[in-house]
Amino acid sequence: MRVLQELARVAATVTACALAACALAEDYPTRPVRMIVGFPPGGATDLVARIIQPKMTEFLGQQVVVDNRPGANGIISLDLIARAQPDGYSLAFGHFGGLVISPAIQKVPYDPARSFTPIGLMVTLQNIIITHPSVNAKTLDDYIALAKAKQGQLNYASAGVGSPGHLAGELLQTMVGIKITHVPFKGGAPALTSLLAGHVPSFFAVISTAVPHVLSGRAHAIAVTGAERADALPGVPTVGESIRGYVATNWYGLLAPAGTPKAIVDRINKALVATLGSAQVTQPLNARGIDARPSSPGQYAKFIGDETRKWLPIIKRADIAP
């Protein structure tokens, strides 16, 4: 009888918790939602957040606040969301660097497979190799020749150690046998500022931040790193047109802390999908070479796993160290 009574108590507790979770989800959200971005204002990640923020606010019915927490290639922001309450009021951008690259090269304070609840993939975007106009390299062949002539002396900037731009540079070195020196910054915006000022000669940048400067002539585009040319810069070739098999893209998705109730996750995903289907969002994204890729939570979880399996051997072969 004592066993039966205990089982009945546990069942009643579980039922009560489930009903409370359902009630919470029905009311959600009742206050502003924080969306943590792991990079400084002005970079590509921040740009995407600022573009989607108004529509997310509209579709959730509560203010969505962009909270920039830069540092350590986004690790700081992901650690914050891993420790946050799983109530749907703290979300974060999940990205290639923080979920795939950094965990492969160093110890991180979260488990990329267990510390988060995926909400949905948001966008994919290419990297682009850009140079300061003073650099005597106008094509990818020129850039490679310059690197070979100055082994180890040609510098390239990235948004940080283990960032997608860093990995794109390492992949180029591995595939063509050159040595270029990596100069990491705390985000894409400061790296771009340094390139435009002529302090670094080249930058493996996320395409969205580079497009206006390429169009204005303040930076020169060498090549994009995706499988196809970017609609925003159709005259710029892909690296793969010269180096067979080269592809290096970036992506962002939305994460909640592990344990966030499914009903809340579904509510946020519904708002995210509607946001990414709005012309007010897709038009400015496309103008910067960014493609909206809305997905379900399950599809985003599978995507992260597929990306990890694809890139882990490349990361190890490149011997990237933090």
pLDDT of 13 strictly over 70:
no
pLDDT, tens digit, 9 for 90 and up, residues 237-268: 999 999 999 999 889 999 999 999 999 999 99
* Sign, Cα dihedral of 264, 266, 267, 268: positive
For residue 160, the model assigns a pLDDT of: 84
For residue 217, the model assigns a pLDDT of: 97
For residue 319, the model assigns a pLDDT of: 78
C-alpha dihedral, 263 to 269 to 270 to 275, nearest 10°:
150
Q: Are 160 and 187 in contact (CB under 8 A)?
A: yes
All structural domains of the chain: 32-124+250-318 (3.40.190.150), 126-241 (3.40.190.10)
pLDDT of 31 strictly over 80:
yes
User: Which residues, other chains included, contact 155 with Cβ-Cβ below 8 Å and sequence gap of 6+?
Assistant: 180, 181, 182, 183, 200, 201, 202
State the SS3 of 272-302.
HHHHHCCHHHHHHHHHCCEEECCCCHHHHHH
For residue 145, the model assigns a pLDDT of: 97
Render 98-158 in DSSP notation, one character per residue: IIIIHHHHS--SS-TTTSEEEEEEEEEEEEEEEE-TTSS--SHHHHHHHHHHTTTTSEEEE
Over residues 105-110, the mean pLDDT reads 94
pLDDT of 189 strictly over 60:
yes
Joined together, the tokens standing for residue 77 give 């922001």
State the SS3 of 26-80.
HHCCCCCEEEEECCCCCCHHHHHHHHHHHHHHHHHCCCEEEEECCCHHHHHHHHH
Q: What is the DSSP letter of 186?
A: S
Decide which of 170 and 322 is more confident: 170
Joined together, the tokens standing for residue 309 give 């399996």
Structure confidence at residue 44 as a pLDDT band (50, 70, 90): confident
In the beta sheet, which residues pair with residue 156?
A: 182, 202
Over residues 149-168, the mean pLDDT reads 90
> Quick count: other Cβ atoms within 10 Å of Cβ 302?
14
Beta pairing class for 249-257 and 90-95 = antiparallel
Mean pLDDT of the chain: 91
For residue 270, the model assigns a pLDDT of: 98
Over residues 279-288, the mean pLDDT reads 93
For residue 15, the model assigns a pLDDT of: 53
Over residues 36-55, the mean pLDDT reads 93
SS3 assignment, position 218: coil
> Quick count: other Cβ atoms within 10 Å of Cβ 311?
19
- Least Cα distance to 70 among 114, 32, 40, 35 occurs for 40
pLDDT, tens digit, 9 for 90 and up, residues 211-224: 999 999 999 999 99
For residue 12, the model assigns a pLDDT of: 57
**Which stretch of DSSP H or E encloses residue 172?**
helix 164-176
For residue 240, the model assigns a pLDDT of: 96
pLDDT, tens digit, 9 for 90 and up, residues 285-294: 988 889 899 9
Q: Minimum mean pLDDT among 20-34, 49-63, 167-181: which range? A: 20-34
- The whole-angstrom separation of Cα 56 and Cα 93 is 14
- Least Cα distance to 92 among 61, 49, 139 occurs for 49
Q: Are 202 and 155 in contact (CB under 8 A)?
A: yes
List the Cα angle 110/116/119 in 5-degree steps. Answer: 150
- What pTM does this model have? 0.79
pLDDT of 14 strictly over 70:
no
- The whole-angstrom separation of Cα 314 and Cα 17 is 45
Joined together, the tokens standing for residue 33 give 């939602």
Q: Minimum mean pLDDT among 126-130, 230-234, 293-297: which range? A: 230-234
Decide which of 101 and 134 is more confident: 134
For residue 59, the model assigns a pLDDT of: 98
Decide which of 97 and 120 is more confident: 120
pLDDT of 48 strictly over 60:
yes
In the beta sheet, which residues pair with residue 206?
A: 127
